[in-house]
Amino acid sequence: MSEEMQQDSVECATQALEKYNIEKDIYNPTWHCIVGRNFGSYVTHETKHLIYFYLGQVADLLFKSG
């Protein structure tokens, strides 16, 4: 991960923690995000709480579990 991406990740997490006092309120509980070009997945998710899509050649998997 590039230095710029690392800094963006830390800034985003910092803003979320400053804005919310309770972990589950940061972006509702138990959401997971996987982004990449080459990965497989087998996940357990809640009904109607999964999306898998491509932006160009990059796959995005978002799901809620738990």
Q: What is the pLDDT of residue 25?
A: 61
Tens-binned pLDDT, residue by residue, of the chain (66 aa)? 688 867 887 777 778 778 776 666 665 667 788 888 888 888 888 888 888 999 888 898 988 887
Going along the chain from its start, the domains and CATH numbers come out as 3-64 (3.30.740.10)
Is residue 55 exposed (0-12), middle (13-18) or buried (19+ Cβ within 10 Å)? exposed
CA 34, distance to chain mean position in Å, is 6
Q: What is the pLDDT of residue 22?
A: 64
pTM to 2 decimals?
Answer: 0.58
Q: Enumerate residues 6+ apart whose C-beta is below 8 A from 65.
A: 30, 32, 43, 44, 45, 46
